Amino acid sequence: MEAVAPDGCCCGDDACDDVAGQAAAAAARGAAGPSAWMGLSGVLLVLGMALERLAPAAGGQLGAPRLDGALYLLSALAGAAYPARSAWRSLRRGRLDMNVLMVIAILGAFALGARAEGATVAFLFALGEVLEAQALARSRRSIGALLNLTPPVALVREGEALAERPVAALIPGDLTVVRPGERIPADGVVEAGASSVNQAPVTGESMPADKGPGDAVYAGTINGFGSLEVRVTRAAGDALVARIARQVELARSRRSPAERLVDAFARRYTPAVVLLAALVATLPPLVTGQPWSPWIYRALALLVVACPCALVLSTPVAVVSALSQAARQGVLIKGGAVLEALGRVRALAFDKTGTLTSGRPQVTDILAGPREDAARVLALAAAVECYSEHPLAAAICRRAREAGVTPPSARGFEARPGLGARAHVDGEEWRVGSPAFVAGPEGAGRTATAAHAELTAAVARLAADGKTVVLVGDGRGPVGALAVSDPERPGGREAILALRRAGVSQIHLLTGDNEGTARRLATDLALDGYRSACLPEDKARAVSDLEARVGPVAMVGDGINDAPALAAATVGVAMGGAGAEAALETADMVLVADDLSRLPFALSLARQTRRVIRQNVALSLALKLGAAALVFPGWLTLWMAVVADTGATLLVILNGLRLLRTRPGDGTMLGRGGGHGSIEG
């Protein structure tokens, strides 16, 4: 079995990933080896101490002191089993790290006859390692549990109908329909449709590749704005959540700025301390001719007290605990750097459809102009929309199914994010989407007639009611409209109140929907501002503006139209269940169950984490400096050094682990209870 993160502390380069990997592997196996050795070390240490106390009472037999000495020695061997291996590895790579420092201190203590101290250093050091590995293992387990949460599904064409099937059940020969922004579920060949595909997840190439009939596409790559029909050639599943989980697992290698600083510090600091200790041990005896042993003792005490273990652990234990607690509460955060950024957030921007609203909208009205009847309007809309991933599209297709309307088949689908979608039905281009898109200058508004004017008036009325209006039209103009009402997402209001209480000063709404709907929702939720009729790049610009005015911004969204804004924000947050995969891929964190109440929780967890890290750094520095000041007058005993060092380490670890107990909810949020206060005191 490999070591459990022993050199994790002091390395600051690529070796860390390697070490984190080993630690993860060991942790996954339950870290039985290291904990067993640590436990053995502790038992032997206690036995040794007991025997040392009892020995005089037992009449001072000659054998007794040697027996407790042997117990201490065995305890130290058990405790140092893992650190010693890591120390050896570091030395061979020409590095002086914390493990080396500890092994020197333990050997030195035994050489000077300070056996109890030496064994204690070894035991407490091992204890610290085991606790750290356990924090890591916990986070991995909770992420593992998420893997089973959302089994990915693919849309499969079965005759004329489309059916959902688990990605794992796809077999070669299946014809899958990949909607805009979706991940391609399996390797295959395009049969119909045209789109550009972002292949970065597979090839690392950031320019999207154009795909049309005959082109090969790969599982895990992300479809652009077109819809593709892909003939599966290889059965495979690249589960999205698995990919996010993998990114979260890289949390330790994607270090936060604070971690990198501490690492850089530790890398220079450790050799400096070894040099200083060597000088303390040799200079005074050589120069002044004093006896060697007290100075060697002081040098050892200095080594122990100077071990940067507590400082180096200050950040990672807190970060790993926070990430794993967040994951357990349904918030996937892609690394420590994101957590740190989240703690600084001052403003929030929300997308509307699918984010602040349920994303399960209902078609409430169907209006038809003189050219077509209502059933035909619904059929045409559904023909286009069955290729779309948009929540409005889902509502329209659902309504068509419920009404028993069979849509005609459509070809050449293209999504226009923030506007609508278009496709060819019977050789004619049909558009479904916002009034601007279907009837505006881009659409066929130039040929407006009295009938259109009537439709326009009806549209305005519905929009004023806070409904989203989707027009259906061809080159000759709109033929009808569908009104869709999208109820507020439950818990959204409470989440916004909680965010305000958490000190978020500005909360804005950014939507591609019409002015009426946007104003109504923004007023209803008492938001600080809104922008309507936003195209994807307008949202991104609005986020940058907000950031320039107020400070770090978190953007919460669900659609491909939100991806640019998610990327522009300090922290991009995607809705996990409702979200398009393009949004999930771009986002820095994901609300797995679409639960907005997790947002204030994540925010307070992030701030809590910053606070814990600051406490940890202050605590370890204060204890260390205090103890180090006692070295030179010769007041520092090895015991005090041990207590200062391992005490600081343990406090830092326990302080970090407290974050595992942070719970969402301060009475206004959904369920769980507990409150922020639970970790404060």
Contacts with ligand ADP, residue ranges (CB under 6 A): 351-354, 385, 388, 390, 392-393, 418-421, 432-434, 468, 470, 511-513, 559, 561
Q: Which stretch binds Mg ion (CB under 5 A): 185-193, 441-449, 494-502, 552-560?
A: 552-560
- In single-letter form, the type of residue at position 369 comes to G
Query: Least distance in Å: CB of 355 to Mg ion?
Result: 6
Residue 390 near which of Mg ion, ligand ADP, none (CB within 5-8 Å, type-dependent): ligand ADP
Residue 388 near which of ligand ADP, Mg ion, none (CB within 5-8 Å, type-dependent): ligand ADP
Q: Which is nearer to Mg ion, 129 or 558 (CB)?
A: 558
* Strand pairing class (222-223; 553-557): unpaired
Q: What residues from 22 to 61 belong to the interface with Mg ion (CB under 5 A)?
A: none
Query: Least distance in Å: CB of 133 to ligand ADP?
Result: 43
CA 367 to chain CA centroid, nearest Å: 44
The residue at minimum Cβ distance from ligand ADP is 512
Distances (CA, A) of 523 to 493, 515, 520, 554: 12, 12, 5, 21
Q: Which is nearer to Mg ion, 266 or 463 (CB)?
A: 463
- What 3 state SS string does 382-420 have? HHHHCCCCCHHHHHHHHHHHHCCCCCCCEEEEEEECCCE
Q: Which is nearer to ligand ADP, 256 or 468 (CB)?
A: 468
Query: Least distance in Å: CB of 535 to ligand ADP?
Result: 8
Q: Which is nearer to Mg ion, 487 or 671 (CB)?
A: 487
Query: Least distance in Å: CB of 335 to ligand ADP?
Result: 27
Query: Least distance in Å: CB of 360 to ligand ADP?
Result: 13
Cα gap 263→269, rounded to integer Å: 10
* Strand pairing class (195-198; 187-192): unpaired
Among 508, 513, 442, 447, smallest CA distance to 476 is for 447
Take residue 231 and report the two structure tokens written for it.
């003939």
Residues 561-600, mask of contacts with Mg ion (x by CB under 5 A): ----------------------------------------
Take residue 75 and report the two structure tokens written for it.
């305890």
Distance in angstroms between the alpha carbons of the first and the last residue of the chain? 38
Q: Quick check: 419 and 512 in contact, CB under 8 A?
A: yes
The torsion of the CA quartet 26, 616, 84, 32, rounded to 10 degrees, works out to: -30
Q: Which is nearer to Mg ion, 477 or 512 (CB)?
A: 512
Distances (CA, A) of 245 to 296, 561, 565, 589: 49, 24, 23, 11
Q: Which is nearer to ligand ADP, 8 or 512 (CB)?
A: 512
Q: Which stretch binds Mg ion (CB under 5 A): 551-559, 590-598, 613-621, 626-634?
A: 551-559
Residue 421 near which of ligand ADP, Mg ion, none (CB within 5-8 Å, type-dependent): ligand ADP
CA-CA-CA-CA torsion sign (420, 424, 430, 432) = negative
Take residue 166 and report the two structure tokens written for it.
């688990």
Query: Least distance in Å: CB of 195 to ligand ADP?
Result: 15
Q: Which is nearer to Mg ion, 115 or 539 (CB)?
A: 539
Residue identified by tokens 């990672």 is 316
Contacts of 128 (CB under 8 A, 6+ apart): 309, 313, 646, 649, 650, 653
Q: Which is nearer to Mg ion, 372 or 537 (CB)?
A: 537
Residue 512 near which of ligand ADP, Mg ion, none (CB within 5-8 Å, type-dependent): ligand ADP
| Active site annotation includes 351 | yes
Residue identified by tokens 């909810």 is 665
Distances (CA, A) of 403 to 378, 385, 397, 400: 9, 16, 10, 5
Q: What residues from 342 to 381 belong to the interface with Mg ion (CB under 5 A)?
A: 351, 353-354
Among 220, 277, 263, smallest CA distance to 243 is for 220
Q: Quick check: 637 and 120 in contact, CB under 8 A?
A: no
Query: Least distance in Å: CB of 353 to Mg ion?
Result: 4
* Strand pairing class (228-234; 175-178): antiparallel
Selecting among 263, 351, 588, 594, the annotated active-site residue is 351
* 577: helix, strand or coil: coil
291 burial class (0-12, 13-18, 19+ CB within 10 angstroms)?
exposed
Q: Which is nearer to Mg ion, 186 or 590 (CB)?
A: 590
Residue 434 near which of Mg ion, ligand ADP, none (CB within 5-8 Å, type-dependent): ligand ADP
Cα gap 330→464, rounded to integer Å: 36
Residue 432 near which of Mg ion, ligand ADP, none (CB within 5-8 Å, type-dependent): ligand ADP
- In single-letter form, the type of residue at position 300 comes to L
Give yes or no for residue 559 binding Mg ion (CB under 5 A): yes
Query: Least distance in Å: CB of 525 to ligand ADP?
Result: 14
Query: Least distance in Å: CB of 388 to ligand ADP?
Result: 4
- Residues with a catalytic annotation lie at 351
Return residues touching Mg ion (CB under 5 A): 351, 353-354, 558-559
